[in-house]
Amino acid sequence: MSGHSKWATTKRKKARIDGARAKVFNRIIREMTVAARLGGSDIEGNPRLRSAVDKAKGANMPAKNIETAIAKGAGELEGVNYSEITYEGYGPAGTAIMIDTMTDNKVRTIAEIRHIFSKNGGNVGAEGAVAWMFKSKGVITVAKAAIGEDALFELITDNGADDMDSSGSEYEVKVDPAHFSGLVAALEKKGIKPLTAEVSKVADNMVKVTGGDAEKVLELLEALDEQDDVQSVHTNAEFDQKELENL
């Protein structure tokens, strides 16, 4: 990251812990529900569901909540039918933004997304407007205290990783989604628990934003991230860490 901070790192550091917990649970429950609906309730035979369950356990979600979400998704219990929709748009300073949502009311969701963009100096784009700038990648972060750089590099390259960035306060590893679950399992087999592990949309080229633009972009990203139907927010905006500390 060369002294800069991507949105994925920024939002963790700026999270409001009390409010974030309920939001995290809600997102994971929706993900488990949809994963079970699309691929069945067998965790071992459904990689997407397995990943969501691992995330739920990592967030200390009660086992009953996990079981209920899976049962609803599999049709064993009555539940809400969510649709997955990704929206694209532009933020201040020409930044590109993608928003993954799960919603039971498409009309409500797009209206709220448009309002957030408009209120914060951005606008929603047409389908495909910015998607071409992003690729799906497994992104895993590991504490530097957990393992040495050389040992981690050897481990991840043996398990399909594409890239490792050690310039920040933690290691950031990128891997093709096809190798994502295998790499996480390999890390855990060595006793290394990732700080975060998710399949995300990663921009091919980042755009550095500073000063007032950085503040405006960050406000838009945070507003989108707090919308109830939003599962994840992706951007090509890159922030200077020293500036962020003063925002």
Residue at 189 is within a domain = no
In the sheet that 161-165 helps form, which strands lie side by side, from edge to edge?
161-165, 170-175, 134-143, 196-203
> How many other CB atoms are there within 10 angstroms of residue 15's CB atom?
15
**Dihedrals φ, ψ of 198, to 5°?**
-155, 155
Residue 132: pLDDT over 60: yes
pLDDT at 152: 95
Residue 217 lies in a domain: no
In a domain, 40, yes or no: yes
Is residue 61 in some structural domain?
Answer: yes
**168-186 mean pLDDT:** 90
What percentage of the chain carries pLDDT values higher than 90?
60
Per-residue pLDDT at 246 exceeds 70: no
Output the domain CATH number for residue 33: 1.10.10.200
Give the model's pLDDT for residue 195. 86
pLDDT over 90 (residue 45): no
Note whether 72 and 24 are within 8 A (CB). no
Q: Residue 196: pLDDT band by 50, 70, 90 thresholds?
A: confident
Count of domains observed in the chain: 1
Tell me, yes or no, whether 233 lies in a domain: no
Residue 109 lies in a domain: no
What average pLDDT does the segment 199-211 reach?
90
pLDDT, residue 50, reads 87
- Residue 26's domain spans which residues? 4-73
Does residue 123 lie in a domain region? no
Asked whether residue 226 is domain-assigned, the answer is no
Rounded mean pLDDT of 74-88? Answer: 89
Assign 10 a pLDDT band (cuts: 50, 70, 90).
low
At 85 the pLDDT is: 95
Q: What pLDDT does residue 3 have?
A: 34
Residues 50 and 183: their CA atoms lie apart, in Å, by: 14
Position 15, amino acid: A
Least confidently predicted of 94-108, 126-140, 151-165, 193-207: 193-207
| Mean pLDDT confidence for 133-140 | 92
pTM of the model: 0.81
% of the chain with per-residue pLDDT over 70? 89
